[in-house]
Amino acid sequence: MSAPRCDRTPAWGEMLALPRDLDLRRLFAADPQRAASFTLEAAGLRVDLSKNLWDAATRDTLLRLAAQTGVLARRDAMLRGEPINATEGRAVLHSALRAPLGTAPFGAEVQAALDEMLAFAEGVRADRFTDLVHIGIGGSDLGPAMAVQALQPFVKPGLRLHFVSNVDGHDLAAVLPQLDAQRTLFIVASKTFTTQETLANAEAAKAWFRSQGGTDVARHFAATSSARDRAAAFGIRNVFGFWDWVGGRYSLWSVIGLPLAIAIGASAFRDFLAGAHALDRHFAESPPESNLPLQLGLLDVWYRNALGFSSRSVAPYHQGLRRFPAYLQQLEMESNGKCVDMAGEPLPYATSPVVWGEAGTNGQHAYFQMLHQGSDVVPVEFIAVRRPRYGFVPEGELAALLEDQHRKLLANCLAQAQALMQGKRFEEALAEKAPTANPELAPEALARHRSFPGNRPSTLILLDELNPRSLGALIALHEQRVFVSGAVWGLNSFDQWGVELGKQLCSQLLPRLGSGDSVGLDGSTAAALQWLKA
């Protein structure tokens, strides 16, 4: 896997020397086939990259950069199970969790764990439980919570799922009054069964359960953890473990996906895995010229390092995907938010962008003003779904109204991407009437306020339907895309040392909040501690 760092390759200099004044309007005018040339398909996903600020020369240079930095060789090493997580000496095999038996490392162990988890999930679905409370944080929470929300139409009728993550007691306290202790199952998700926030919530949940007359902790609590002894000491009998080569933010495919499996059932969960595996096969087998995650990851490098864009907005035009931007925040920023390379050398270039967003059309009435007219250019990733699916079959007038709403949703999505690209010239704004404008304002001044620069890039990801298979493919696409940009930058995308220092300092400050001792603290922390203690 030995390959030079990106800034030490010829292609890096070539990339930085490329023209940066590309104009999307001129590019489309010059090439009627641009949309077709820059649209790729994989695992049922259709992704239009044509509204991005690149051309064929840019793409070719980026593909050379991928070749010179050994991205595909590193990909193959990852899929073979080599320990590419060098700082922790671990393999990175989340792809093996969704692979059919005999096609990836640890196949027998993975299938045995999957079968055991799904058997338990089906047992829960057949039981009298009405509520499931999942207690975890980070990768043990964001993935399951996002996926259950996205696949709500597939959730077993009558089953309510709640996700508690924050150590703030208000999180759990908002859920408990909704529950019947005798018909509630708690799932505690912590690989080591030592996570501070998760154990605090689990202990509080157990105390509440007992206060409600609950006695059978073993029946009403399950755990997804590799620390079976600690879970047993808590009183949990049903414990589902996983391996150290499963990173938290990549663990949804493992037993961490138990709440999703209970929600949608074993068959649908296998469809979810199959969609992700189909994307993995595309990533492993497609040539660079048509490899979707490879090109998305390279586009991210181009934007971050050549054009200097520091963030990316994700705008899913589907209410079920409203937590998808938060999920991607962890996936990308925890993976690639690094400032040293694999050898520990400081990096002279930027890495992960800030990833943020909101579901459309809500985001249009919040931050799209900045996207269209702000001083920073922010690439936008739109996600649209052709066919809606509700948790029931609408009929009559309601069916017609919901169909019309879906058309409005799609029209808004396409219009926003179009507006970002086209903009509005000063002359157009000057010729328009603006009924709400101040009539005393000079027309030229008003026109400048109402002009849009345009030429702002976006990607459009299209799904036929949001279902377990397409969601699996969508998540896997972003996982592999993050791998690509991290490999180009020479990072270890699979550790997260940056979260450790705060945990260490918290353990030191916690007893001080009880004692009020502020000796040795910096002035700001000491003052805040004393105020909170008082």
- List residues with catalytic annotation: 334, 365, 503
Alpha helices in 137-177 (DSSP H): 139-150, 169-175
Distance between CA 182 and CA 185 in Å, rounded?
A: 9
First CA to last CA across the chain, in angstroms? Answer: 57
Cα dihedral 166→172→173→177 (10° resolution) = 160
Distance between CA 299 and CA 38 in Å, rounded?
A: 12
356, containing H or E segment: strand 354-357
Distance between CA 130 and CA 184 in Å, rounded?
A: 6
Taking alpha carbons only, the member of 456, 378, 327 closest to residue 51 is 456
Alpha helices in 313-387 (DSSP H): 324-328, 335-336, 368-373
Residues with Cβ within 8 Å of 518's Cβ and at least 6 positions away in sequence, in order, are: 512, 525, 526, 529, 530
Taking alpha carbons only, the member of 506, 504, 496, 503 closest to residue 139 is 496
Residue whose token pair is 């999930």:
121
Q: Could you give the angle at the alpha carbon of 378 between the alpha carbons of 68 and 497, nearest 5°?
A: 60
Residues with Cβ within 8 Å of 534's Cβ and at least 6 positions away in sequence, in order, are: none
Distance between CA 114 and CA 98 in Å, rounded?
A: 10
Taking alpha carbons only, the member of 18, 502, 10 closest to residue 302 is 18
Let me know if 56 is exposed, middle or buried by CB neighbors in 10 A (0-12, 13-18, 19+).
exposed
Beta-bridged to residue 293, according to DSSP, are none
346 half-sphere exposure, CB direction, 13 A CA radius: 1
Distance between CA 74 and CA 319 in Å, rounded?
A: 36
CB 256 within 8 A of CB 139: yes
The three-state secondary structure class of 316 is strand
Angle of helix 56-68 versus helix 468-489 axis, rounded to 10:
70
Distance between CA 372 and CA 271 in Å, rounded?
A: 39
CB 135 within 8 A of CB 144: no
CB 355 within 8 A of CB 312: yes
Distance between CA 272 and CA 275 in Å, rounded?
A: 5
DSSP 269-299: HHHHHHHHHHHHHHHHHS-GGG-HHHHHHHH
